[in-house]
């Protein structure tokens, strides 16, 4: 990590002499589709609402604070391209967290540009840039935000490859606080190469998915042997590695592992092999580019094992749901789906997984503003904003270093998972939070207008507490 005595001014002077291209080769990798999670390909374990008037009646508001003035936050999210929905969740969740703290409705925007949200006596100046889900672009934009826009803090990146690049080439070198989200690779906060005293993440990660889902499979089902599949890049390998560790620690036998390229379609032979190896369950670390092919082959085959993983975003649920509709018919029931041996799945967050006042207001306001219910990434992004405001209020300062100091070890008061639902771990600045497990069920009439997918998560079957979802200090290669 950059020494804290090295000022941003010194880094900016060096950057001005070398140009942004001087950092282009510092780290390889790019923005892969690494955060949708898996679901036998999704990834998750807990979650949770809807209404019409927004949040003008909220009881949240700000606390007594001596902070005033302005804080400038550079936001990096994909706002264009095939995965702009990830960026929308990153923006809309963050805007909703600020709105909740302000007692107002969230900013209705998914575009780049500059926006200001006032909470108490502090103006939060939001400078939004489109990463296009690419690491190179994210690095260039982050450099410009720090060098030319003089932001106090960075937030964002849906791609873990992009987040890691920004950390190593910009945030650490400039010593500027960076709140990562919703990028989900566990190593971002768990590796000495990318963790740091100024690097934070409220959003849930793949290790939390595995620790929750793996523990549930081992303790609440009769599955004793599992075959692990994953996409052949950082996200898929993180899913497989974390599931292997958790399942083996719980006494479940891993009978095989296989990594395949994104978009892989020749699943029949691989699924047959899992059956031959005696698998009673399979888990896959994939995104929407691969899941429909896997599910189609699974549903068209005659396999004895069960498919586990995590609920992903609406776009992946739409693909999975259509595969189920094709196999079971438009009038499929929850019982029909259960007979396919798909699930249950874990979830980081979905709108119907948490019943508390904060989440209810969040769901109502988010749905009325954006026309969709809060999705997989939104709780962590809401909490990121809520935590920043809380840090400003508690420190009485809008300076990045002071805000970072207040974030360390913070329990975030206002979160969609309930009051005090997230806590930043002092050893890696990763927030821990609860996760849930749910069945796959047909989308109900109540939610059909705001959830454009044939299937949705059921009410939670189980909730795994935040103390049991996290990787302990001795399990990460990070010491702050």
The count of residues in the chain is 480
pLDDT in tens, 181-234: 999 989 999 999 999 999 999 999 999 998 999 999 999 999 999 999 999 987
Residue 344 above 60 pLDDT?
A: yes
Q: pLDDT at position 310, please?
A: 85
Q: How far apart are alpha carbons 354 and 255 in whole angstroms?
A: 35
Give the pLDDT band of residue 287 (cuts 50, 70, 90). confident
Helices and strands of the chain, counted as H and E runs: 16, 18
Among residues 464, 217, 220, 444, which one has the least CA distance to residue 352? 444
Q: What is the pLDDT of residues 414-471, one digit of tens each?
A: 999 999 999 999 999 999 999 999 999 999 999 999 999 999 999 999 999 999 998 9
User: What's the pLDDT score for residue 21?
Assistant: 33
Query: How high is the pLDDT of residue 65?
Result: 62
Tell me the average pLDDT of the chain. Answer: 88
CB of 408 closer than 8 Å to CB of 167? no
Q: What is the per-residue pLDDT for 72? A: 98
Could you give the angle at the alpha carbon of 448 between the alpha carbons of 442 and 454, nearest 5°? 35
Over residues 32-54, the mean pLDDT reads 35
Residue 233 CA to residue 391 CA, distance in Å, equals: 35
Region 281-302 average pLDDT: 88
d(CA 97, CA 379): 9
Phi-psi region of 389 (alpha: psi -120 to 50; beta: other; left: phi over 0): alpha
Consecutive H or E run containing 200: strand 199-201
The answer to whether the beta carbons of residues 114 and 405 sit under 8 Å apart is: no
Going 216 to 219 to 222 to 228, the CA torsion angle's sign is positive
Instruction: Provide mean pLDDT across the span 372-378.
Output: 98
**pLDDT value at residue 64:** 57
Mean pLDDT of 293-306: 92
> What is the reported pLDDT for 235?
79
β-partners of residue 347 are 436
**How does residue 239 score in pLDDT terms, banded at 50, 70 and 90?**
confident
* pLDDT, tens digit (0-9, with 9 covering 90-100), for 161-188: 999 999 999 999 999 999 999 999 899 9
In this prediction, residue 88 has a pLDDT band, given cuts at 50, 70 and 90, of: very high
| pTM > 0.75 | yes
User: Is residue 45 scored above 80 in pLDDT?
Assistant: no
């Amino acid at each position: 990590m950059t020494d804290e005595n090295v000022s941003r001014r010194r880094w900016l002077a060096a950057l001005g002499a070398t140009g942004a291209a001087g950092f282009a080769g510092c780290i390889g990798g790019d923005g892969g589709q690494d955060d949708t999670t898996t679901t036998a390909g999704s990834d998750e374990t807990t979650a949770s609402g809807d209404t019409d008037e927004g949040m003008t009646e909220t009881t949240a508001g700000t606390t007594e604070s001596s902070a005033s003035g302005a804080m400038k936050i550079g936001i990096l999210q994909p706002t264009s391209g095939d995965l702009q929905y990830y960026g929308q969740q990153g923006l809309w969740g963050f805007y909703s967290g600020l709105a909740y703290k302000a007692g107002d409705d969230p900013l209705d925007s998914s575009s780049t540009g500059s926006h200001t949200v006032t909470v108490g006596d502090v103006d939060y100046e939001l400078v939004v840039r489109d990463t296009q889900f690419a690491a190179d672009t994210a690095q260039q934009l982050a450099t410009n935000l720090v060098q030319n826009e003089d932001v106090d803090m960075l937030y964002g990146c849906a791609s873990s490859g992009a987040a890691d690049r920004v950390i190593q080439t910009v945030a650490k070198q400039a010593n500027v606080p960076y709140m990562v989200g919703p990028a989900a690779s566990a190593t971002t906060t768990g590796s000495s190469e990318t963790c740091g005293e100024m690097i934070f993440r409220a959003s849930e990660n793949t290790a939390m998915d595995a620790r929750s889902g793996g523990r549930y499979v081992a303790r609440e089902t009769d599955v004793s042997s599992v075959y692990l599949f994953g996409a052949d890049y950082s996200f898929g390998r993180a899913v497989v590695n974390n599931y292997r560790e958790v399942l083996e620690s719980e006494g479940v036998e891993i009978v095989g592992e296989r990594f395949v390229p994104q978009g892989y379609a020749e699943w029949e032979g691989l699924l047959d092999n899992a059956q031959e190896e005696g698998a009673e369950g399979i888990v896959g670390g994939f995104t929407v580019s691969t899941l429909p092919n896997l599910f189609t082959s699974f549903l068209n085959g005659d396999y004895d094992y069960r498919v586990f993983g995590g609920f992903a975003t609406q776009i992946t649920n739409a693909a999975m749901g259509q595969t189920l509709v094709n196999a079971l018919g438009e009038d499929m029931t929850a019982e029909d789906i259960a007979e396919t041996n798909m699930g249950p799945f874990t979830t980081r967050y979905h709108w119907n997984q948490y019943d508390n006042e904060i989440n209810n207001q969040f769901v109502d306001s988010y749905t009325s503003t954006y026309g969709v219910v809060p999705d997989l990434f939104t709780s962590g992004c809401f909490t990121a904003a809520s935590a920043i405001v809380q840090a400003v209020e508690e420190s009485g300062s809008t300076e990045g270093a002071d805000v970072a100091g207040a974030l360390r070890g913070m329990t975030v008061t206002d979160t969609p998972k309930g009051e005090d639902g997230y806590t930043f771990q002092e050893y890696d600045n990763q927030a821990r939070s609860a996760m849930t497990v749910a069945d796959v069920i047909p989308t109900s009439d109540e939610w059909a207008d705001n959830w454009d997918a044939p299937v949705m998560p059921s009410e939670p079957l189980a909730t795994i507490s935040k103390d049991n979802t996290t990787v302990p200090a001795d399990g990460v290669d990070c010491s702050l």
